[in-house]
Each structure stands twice: as C-alpha cells, then as structure tokens.
C-alpha cells in the first residue's frame, strides 16, 4: 500500500483543488431554482469517473411532483462499474453529490460555495457531506491506476443527487436493478456519516429510522384580525401549540402510549460496546453550546441517541415568523415534528399510534377546528458488525490511523441503507471520512485536510483488505 499512500500524499493539493471545483457547484437539491446546478454536478462527477475508465451510465428518475402541483425533472443517478472479473469479489460504494441549502447570510463566516482553507480545515458546503467522500473514492482509484497496481476487487458505484431531499425516486430504481446491476454484490460501503469523536475513526453498524408528521389545524376560511375577532373564535394556533406540547416531556420521553412497547431491550453484549468508545460529554456540550445535556453519563446518552426513539419538534408553517408585530390570527397552521425510530419499531405502527394520540388529544380539548395529520416514514437499520466486511474495514483503519475504530450506531437516518440492503441482501457498512465537528448540515461545514487525505487512504486500504478475502 505504500506506493498508493505516497501518491495520495503527493497529490493532496490537486485533490483539494478538485474538491474546490465540486464545492463551487451549488447542487442544492431542495431548490427549484438550482435544480440545473444539481444536474450539472451529476454530469461533472460522471466526467471525472470517465477519466478513470469507469463505465458510467446516467439513469433518469422521472419527474418530481412539487407541493405547488408543479412538476420538476429529477436529476439522474450515476451507475458506475470498474472491473468485471468473475474471480474477484465486488464492492458497491454509494455516495451523493447534492447538498443542503447554504447562504452567507445564514451565518457562514465564508462563502459556502467557495472552498476556503483556514488552519488546515476546508470550509464549504458539501466538503464533508458528501462531495469529499465521493471524491475520496475516485482519488483512491486514481492512486491504484497511476501506480499500475491491479485493483483486487470489482467496483460498482451508485452516486445520486437527491439524498438531501429524501432520495426521491431512488428506492424504485434500486429495486428495478436488483437482478441486473445490483446482482452478485459481495459488500456495500456507504460513506455518508461522520466519526463520533474528533480523534478516533469509527465503523457504523446501525441507524435510526424516521417518521415525519405534519399536523394541520384550520379554524377559518381566511386570516383574521386579532383585535376584531380575538375572543370570538377557537384559534388554530392555540390548538396546535396544545397538541405539540402534548408529545414529549422535559426529559425527552415521548408521551404517546405504546410507542416504547416494541423497543428491544439492551443485551449485555450490546451494552459492552459502549464502554470504551471515544466520546466526551463536556466536549459535546461545548460544541452544541447548550447549558446542560439530557443525560449525565456517556453510555446513557449514546444509547438514547442511537438505540432509543426520540421526538423532535421542527417548526410551524403558516404562522408569522418575521421580525416585528403582526396581530393576525392565521386561518390554518401546520406543525412539523419527527420521531426517530429504532430497529424492531414498525414505521406504520408508529404513525398509527401517533395519529390516533393526536386525534384523541384534539377531541379531549373540545375544539371544533379541523384537524388533519399526514405522515411518512422509513425504517431503522442494523447490520452484522461481525461480518468480514467490517473485519476488513477494521484492518484498514488500523493500517491508516494506527488504532482500532469505535463501533458505533447513529441517531440519524440514511434511508438508502435500508433500500440497498433490501435490493441486494448484502452486508452494508458505513465508513465515514469526516469528524464529529464537521457540521455537515449547519453553517461553516468543513472537512479537515488530514481527514480528507487520510480518508482517501482509508478507502484504498479497505479495497485492499477486501481483496485479500478472495472469491
């Protein structure tokens, strides 16, 4: 591996420059206006893959129906393949090239779409999530090819551009390819998360699922003046606040009856995995900038973040939120919240319990206002961390970083993991590149240069370790 590692080190500046080119394309999938830029990002990525002789194909996903009833063309997905040797095993790598919205006015210290290096850190939207990791795979392949070292695996790639918008259309595409492109996959690797700490790498074997809820309350056919109609009507906002305040207590416990019934108890083997994880509660508290965390011990907090469900309130649509006063009674408001669910919890059952609870709360309150609850959901995921896929990744981490990786689960959700596993019946590994302080969905998203370069080496070493397993 030394020639490959040396090539990666020698070309670090060029790899960083290429990441800058990718960051400069504002591929915000949630923006209708920027959808052409999303497609441009896909086409640019395909061109970079073509330079490495990866056989690529753009697969169209069709149209997206917008809430306004408009129709927008979805960006295509890149399917790529390098090698087709029946004597070698096949690795499928997934990543995405779309990003979260970002504006300088949001509180960024730098232009979010201009890669900026400060003290060994690369600031820019998409550096960590997920353009840096996507390019890490291409950098690793380039290093093998330049050093004329035969890749010990067949490689396949699925790079999409709607991950930040619920991977719209991807699940159906993957299922349609399960007997062709996705057939005979031996391992799957997804690099779309982060280390738990700043100093020790990790392998992630579990994710929570998520159920989204939209609670709509309507009190009138038009907005009303509070001076004229205040005290005369049952206000929609009052009903909604009551309902939202009935969901979770001050300690974070969900108040919906039956919601915890299907949560699996923690086994002694699982409990032991948490004890040696590199994680500091005080560092987390300072990074967040809060006064106090919900839990006082490392193990307790991690378990509540990874393997217990939680409920979070996100916002209210239809309410006045701009500076200043506006004495209006909104005719209709929609509260938004989500429940992160864990393995063994069924999304449909969680949605049913929650909807029934909200309807009962509204009935008990006695308001005549119209209530409408709509939902969507995706399941949780857990993998076999004793699989040879994980064993190979552990060896690669030891090779690059000199330490054993932490074995972690995550509180977030990556729906594509579930669909990949379902379409292939193959072990899935999450192999992150960036650290816990990269702030991938926040202001000042960054990726340390050391993490970018060492992460590229990690992918190269992982390929090498998988290749040793033979067919």
Quick one: DSSP state of residue 319? S
Euclidean distance between CA atoms 108 and 357, whole angstroms: 40
* Backbone φ, ψ for residue 25 (5° rounding): -90, 110
Report whether pLDDT(290) > 80: yes
Binning pLDDT at 50, 70 and 90, where does residue 471 land? low
How confident is the model over 213-230, as a mean pLDDT?
95
pLDDT tens string 68-96:
778 899 999 999 999 999 999 999 999 99
Length of the chain: 471
Active site residues: 98, 163
How confident is the model over 345-357, as a mean pLDDT?
97
How confident is the model over 133-141, as a mean pLDDT?
98
Q: Count of CB atoms within 10 A of residue 384's CB?
A: 12
Report whether pLDDT(230) > 70: yes
Euclidean distance between CA atoms 369 and 218, whole angstroms: 6
pTM summary value? 0.86
Report pLDDT for 70.
82
Report whether pLDDT(52) > 90: yes
Asked whether 310 and 340 are in contact (CB, 8 A), the reply is: yes
Report pLDDT for 440.
93
Enter the tokens of residue 57: 């194909």
pLDDT tens string 173-206:
999 999 999 999 999 999 999 999 999 999 999 9
Report whether pLDDT(289) > 70: yes
Binning pLDDT at 50, 70 and 90, where does residue 250 land? very high
Report whether pLDDT(288) > 90: no
Asked whether 460 and 1 are in contact (CB, 8 A), the reply is: yes
pLDDT tens string 431-459:
999 999 999 999 999 999 999 999 999 99
- Is pLDDT larger for residue 413 or for residue 84? 84
Report whether pLDDT(470) > 80: no
Q: Count of CB atoms within 10 A of residue 321's CB?
A: 9
Question: Three-state DSSP class for 397?
Answer: helix
Report whether pLDDT(129) > 90: yes
* CA 306 remoteness from chain centre: 14
The chain-wide mean pLDDT, for the chain, equals: 95
How confident is the model over 148-158, as a mean pLDDT?
97
Domains for the chain: give ranges and CATH numbers. 1-207+380-468 (3.40.630.10), 209-263+308-378 (3.30.70.360)
Q: What percent of the chain has pLDDT over 90?
A: 87
Report pLDDT for 66.
78
Report pLDDT for 37.
98
Euclidean distance between CA atoms 321 and 343, whole angstroms: 37
């Amino acid at each position: 591996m030394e020639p490959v590692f040396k090539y990666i080190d020698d070309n670090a500046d060029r790899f960083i420059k290429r990441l800058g080119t990718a960051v400069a394309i504002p591929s915000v999938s949630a923006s209708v206006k920027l959808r052409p830029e999303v497609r441009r990002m896909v086409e640019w990525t395909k061109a970079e893959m073509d330079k490495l002789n990866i056989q690529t194909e753009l697969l169209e996903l069709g149209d997206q129906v917008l809430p306004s009833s408009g129709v927008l063309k979805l960006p295509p997905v890149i399917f790529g393949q390098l090698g087709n040797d029946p004597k070698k095993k096949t690795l499928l790598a997934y990543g995405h090239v779309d990003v979260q919205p970002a504006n300088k006015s949001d509180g960024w210290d730098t232009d979010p779409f201009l890669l900026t290096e400060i003290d060994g850190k690369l600031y820019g939207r998409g550096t960590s999530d997920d353009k840096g990791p996507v390019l890490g795979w291409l950098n690793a392949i380039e290093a093998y090819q330049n050093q004329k070292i035969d890749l010990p695996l067949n490689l396949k790639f699925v790079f999409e551009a709607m991950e930040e918008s619920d991977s719209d259309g991807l699940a159906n595409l993957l299922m349609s390819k399960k007997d062709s492109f996705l057939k005979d996959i031996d391992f799957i690797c997804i690099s779309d998360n982060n280390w738990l700490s700043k100093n020790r790498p990790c392998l992630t074997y579990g994710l929570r699922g998520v159920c989204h809820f939209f609670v709509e309350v309507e009190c009138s056919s038009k907005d009303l003046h509070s001076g004229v109609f205040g005290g005369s009507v049952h206000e929609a906002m009052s009903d909604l606040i009551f309902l939202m305040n009935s969901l979770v207590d001050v300690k974070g416990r969900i108040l919906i009856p039956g919601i915890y019934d299907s949560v699996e108890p923690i086994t002694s083997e699982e409990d032991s995995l948490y004890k040696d994880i590199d994680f500091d509660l005080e560092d987390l508290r300072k990074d967040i900038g809060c006064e106090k965390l919900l839990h006082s011990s490392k193990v307790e907090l991690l378990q509540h973040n990874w393997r217990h469900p939680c409920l979070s309130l996100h916002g209210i649509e239809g309410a006045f939120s701009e500076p200043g006063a506006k004495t209006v009674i909104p005719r209709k408001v929609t509260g938004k919240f989500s429940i992160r669910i864990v393995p063994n919890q069924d999304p449909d059952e969680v949605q049913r319990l929650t909807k029934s609870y909200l309807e009962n709360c509204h009935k008990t309150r006695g308001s005549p206002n119209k209530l409408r609850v709509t939902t969507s959901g995706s399941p949780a995921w857990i993998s076999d961390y004793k699989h040879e896929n994980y064993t190979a990744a552990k060896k690669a981490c030891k090779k690059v970083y000199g330490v054993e990786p932490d074995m972690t689960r995550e509180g977030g959700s990556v729906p594509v993991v579930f669909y990949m596993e379902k379409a292939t019946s193959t072990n899935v590994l999450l192999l992150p590149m960036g650290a816990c302080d990269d702030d991938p969905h926040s202001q000042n998203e960054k990726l340390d240069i050391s993490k970018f370069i060492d992460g590229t080496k990690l992918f190269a070493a992982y390929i090498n370790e998988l290749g040793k397993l033979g067919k």
